[in-house]
Structure 1
Amino acid sequence: MSRQMSLGAFLMATGHHIAAWRHPEVPADPLDFAIYRRTAQIAEAACFDALFVADSVAAPAELWASLSARSVHFEPLTLLSALSAVTERIGLIATATTSYNEPYHVARKFASLDHLSAGRTGWNLVTSDAAAEAGNFGLEAHISHAERYARAREFQQVVQGLWDSWADDAFVRDKASGLFHPPHAVRTLDHVGEHFRVKGPLNVARSPQGRPVLVQAGSSEAGRALAAQSAEVVFTAQPSLEKARAFYADVKGRLAKYGRDPNALKIMPGVFVVVGQSQAQAEDKYQAFQDLVDPRVGVGLLGRMLGNFDLSGYPLDGPLPPLPPTDNGQRSRQALLTELAGSEQLTLAQLGRRIAGGRGHHSVVGTPSQIADELQAWFEGSAADGFNILVPHLPLGLEDFALHVVPELQRRGLFRRHYQGKTLREHLGLQRPANPHFV
């Protein structure tokens, strides 16, 4: 079989467009589970590899947030646990920050969800880019960029060690002898490091897929290094084919340093799509969302994406002001948006509207054939192993993609018609990791 792309459905409240909740076709309540259930079932029927849910452990307090639907959302693992009960095959990837969690909690929760879902779970490791999160965890200021990544590296190592606490065949459950598991089938971690002291073992058996799939979403230098060392999937925002190719080559080229095969890591850029039966219809759909954007909301979102800067005091029709490198946000996204503003000479209001849908991700507004052409060019052009699909509104935006773009990709032999495996690892073509402590 020829190489095929992976597809993730990126779920975000009422949709990815910041004004989606105002659209007449969109339920306005971001805590309506029926939206997520319907969306998950649409994605599974289309054979998507996984659902993906991002997260923040703080509610934005700025004015722009009160004019959007981004102030409240489900905790991802709780949501995906519910979705695991109404789906059978699709993967379930949740974000959990290493900055404001403890390794034992994260290891236990994801291992539990992997058992509940029969091996469909992935952990999106992030270091938190929302400075407001610090105040919810007893800190006066957000942790610095370098410190966040140093903590993340050790955090990941501890979680992986905890996931390997038990041999795959540890639990014999022999009723006759009364032996539930032999003493030699468990390993105590005894980790002592710079940031964590964790005894172990984990009180959940080893995952059905060995370990939950490890996903990483940072594209800064520190993020790329961490991904090359340990990630199995990378989510990234790349604005053009040229930049996506450069990112792909750079990250894949780092794996050899860690003794890893390039195929052990799947790179899946985000793509914001609006589907129409004609180019004009697609553009009209997109414009209907754009017309609902309050400039204050667009600029507020922009400040958040640039690294938690307050831009409310700058004129909407003026240029993006010079900003120092963020130490408490996403450096890669700040660089991307600053370059976009300069290259296209956009005002603050224009830049805010520009990112209202895709937030800096590549955007394709067009027919199913045009969208498939773009995805195929990236996939076959050494820029992507698959894509994290962002749609303006849920569930109808994903339904448009599933009903019209997926069949086009299938006709071209680029995407599966049926699930071949049962676990997320099998969907992604990733090997089940052996437990190095019980060979």
Structure 2
Amino acid sequence: MSAGTSGAGARRQMHLGAFFFGVGHHLAAWRHPDVDPGAASRIEALREWTRIAEAAKFDAIFFADNVGLPGPPDAVVAKNALWYPLDPLVTLAALSQSTTHIGLVATVSATYLPPYHLARKYASLDQVSGGRSGWNLVTSGSDFEARSFGLPQQFAHAHRYARAHEYVKIVKGLWDTWEDDAFVHDKAANRFFDPAKLHRVAHEGEHFTLHGGLQTPRAPQGYPVLVQAGSSGDGQDLAAATAEVVFTAQQTPEDARAFYAGLKARLAAHGRGPDSLKILPGISPFVGRSQQEAQEKFEQLQGLIDPVLGVGLLSTFLGNVDLSGYAVDDPFPQDLPVTEGWKSRQALFSEMARRDGLSIRQLYEKVAGARGHWTVVGTPEAIADQLEHWFSTGAADGFNVLAPTLPHGLSDFARLVIPELQRRGLFRTEYTGRTLREHLGLARPAHPAAVAASIPSHRHAEA
């Protein structure tokens, strides 16, 4: 039973993810005097951050990822920290052994890893963690990632998402290779498993062909929790069909409510109810015991932004659009070409600049803290007020917390904001389940064979 659904008449509670990203989400995090720039490459530091999140009763930690080294020019790349120094699945497998409850979510691209590899890796992570894994499905949006795999450029946006729909179908089939009770281990009969409960996959589709089965037994959760982060039209279509958690970048409660209502409305076409999908906007919190202290924390990091990196951040999310023809204090151009990269983020940046009349510099300063996610600066009470407003007015089921620096920003949120949310009855004080599905209030998927067996035949029904 989850904190979000803890019994009849219980108050609805929010879900919280702790998003680990380099040594912090702010573009200048690694330059902060209190930050260890190399910490994200050391498992001891990652264990410390995870312990902070688990002690605070977060639903899950979350690692994003890409599969390539940005650049060149290398002189510009050298100004920034490496955001993804370790493979996230290997890292989460290690962290699973020093934790007991917190969920473990990692990004893996459906574009560059064969479905069989992904299915086996996540089934294994769910086994070794006792049912705490989650897969954040992305399709990869950068040409430098494509070049890492011998391609001249990324696939077209629509093509990537069409492949992803087929990819998920295959992966679920592989996770269902074995029924839950397939392994009988009958020594006397010399029968390790019941062959009637083995279901091999035979798939021949537009993008993939696969004939085989998974060696790994069915996951404790049935399937690892399926997470998706695309907010474009194609991304929302994929989420409505497959996702159980959606991470999204929203700047205002009005925009968040529109996104929330629109995406939940798509679920019915797939035979799904609104509670089968949890929507968690990102929030980057600067927490102070006073408003002045919080503002000083924010301004200290803002003052460390290198303009070259600020413009480079915009260019990356715009699909490597060249902004060199504009002065940094020119108005952000509204006639830039639409690329095949992060379409939802491109639209978000353009709308932010148009709505607020921002220059290029003002726009990168606005998004440097969290790459387009909502940044909030204030006291624990003021931040809790805003989170409660979003949560209680249909804008969110919870939030993915993007700490500006690690571990300090995460520690500030855990020590100061979470107790205020708990005092208001908005967040759990203890875990009531052991799996990530239980934390999120999500059903464990039944094996298709068990579902089919539970449906009476027409003859039996008529009798």
Would you say same fold, with TM above 0.5? Answer: yes
Give the deviation of 1:324 after TM superposition.
1.2
Mapped partners of 1:95, 1:421: distance in 2: 24
Task: Trace 1:194-205 onto structure 2 (pairs within 5 A).
Answer: 194-205=206-217
| 1:400 matches 2:400 | no
Higher-Rg structure is 2
Q: Give the equivalent residue in structure 2 for 1:33.
A: 43
Q: Which letter maps to 1:308? A: N
| 1:48 matches 2:61 | no
**Residue 59 of structure 1 is aligned with which of 69, 75, 89?**
69
Give the deviation of 1:325 after TM superposition.
1.2
Indicate how the Cα distance of structure 1 residues 72 and 66 shifts in structure 2: closer, same or farther if over 3 A, else same: farther
Gaps of 5+ in 2: 1-9, 454-463
* Matched position secondary structure for 2:41: coil
Q: Give the equivalent residue in structure 2 for 1:323.
A: 336
Mapped partners of 1:358, 1:260: distance in 2: 31
Task: Trace 1:382-393 onto structure 2 (pairs within 5 A).
Answer: 382-393=394-405
Give the deviation of 1:79 after TM superposition.
1.1
| 1:15 matches 2:27 | no
* Matched position secondary structure for 1:101: coil
Contact 2:65–2:84 under 8 Å retained in 1: no
TM-score by length of 2: 0.93
Mapped partners of 1:193, 1:437: distance in 2: 22
Give the deviation of 1:57 after TM superposition.
0.3
Gaps of 5+ in 1: none
Q: Which letter maps to 2:296? A: D
Task: Trace 1:407-418 onto structure 2 (pairs within 5 A).
Answer: 407-418=419-430
Give the deviation of 1:177 after TM superposition.
2.7
Deviation by residue 1:31-78 (Cα, 9 ceiling, x = unmatched)? 122221111000000100000000000111144422010365211101
| 1:261 matches 2:295 | no
Count of aligned positions: 438
Task: Trace 1:134-153 onto structure 2 (pairs within 5 A).
Answer: 134-153=146-165
Q: Give the equivalent residue in structure 2 for 1:107.
A: 119
Contact 1:60–1:71 under 8 Å retained in 2: no
* Matched position secondary structure for 1:243: helix
Contact 2:22–2:83 under 8 Å retained in 1: no
Q: Give the equivalent residue in structure 1 for 2:458.
A: none
Mapped partners of 1:257, 1:97: distance in 2: 26
Deviation by residue 1:392-413 (Cα, 9 ceiling, x = unmatched)? 1001110110011001000100
Contact 1:59–1:72 under 8 Å retained in 2: no
Q: Which letter maps to 1:230? A: T
C-alpha RMSD of the superposition: 1.1
| 1:3 matches 2:15 | no
Indicate how the Cα distance of structure 1 residues 331 and 376 shifts in structure 2: closer, same or farther if over 3 A, else same: same
Q: Give the equivalent residue in structure 1 for 2:309.
A: 297
Query: 194-203 or 423-432, which moves further after superposition?
Result: 194-203
Mapped partners of 2:291, 2:168: distance in 1: 45
Give the deviation of 1:258 after TM superposition.
0.9
| 1:73 matches 2:82 | no
Q: Give the equivalent residue in structure 1 for 2:197.
A: 185
Contact 1:234–1:266 under 8 Å retained in 2: yes
Contact 2:278–2:397 under 8 Å retained in 1: yes
**Residue 131 of structure 2 is aligned with which of 98, 102, 119?**
119
**Residue 235 of structure 2 is aligned with which of 223, 238, 246?**
223
| 1:353 matches 2:365 | yes
Mapped partners of 1:22, 1:333: distance in 2: 26
Q: Which letter maps to 2:323? A: L
Q: Which letter maps to 1:233? A: V
Q: Give the equivalent residue in structure 2 for 1:248.
A: 260
Give the deviation of 1:414 after TM superposition.
0.5
| 1:133 matches 2:121 | no
Mapped partners of 2:338, 2:413: distance in 1: 37
Q: Which letter maps to 2:200? A: T
TM-score by length of 1: 0.98
Percent of matched pairs sharing the same residue: 55
Contact 1:64–1:301 under 8 Å retained in 2: no
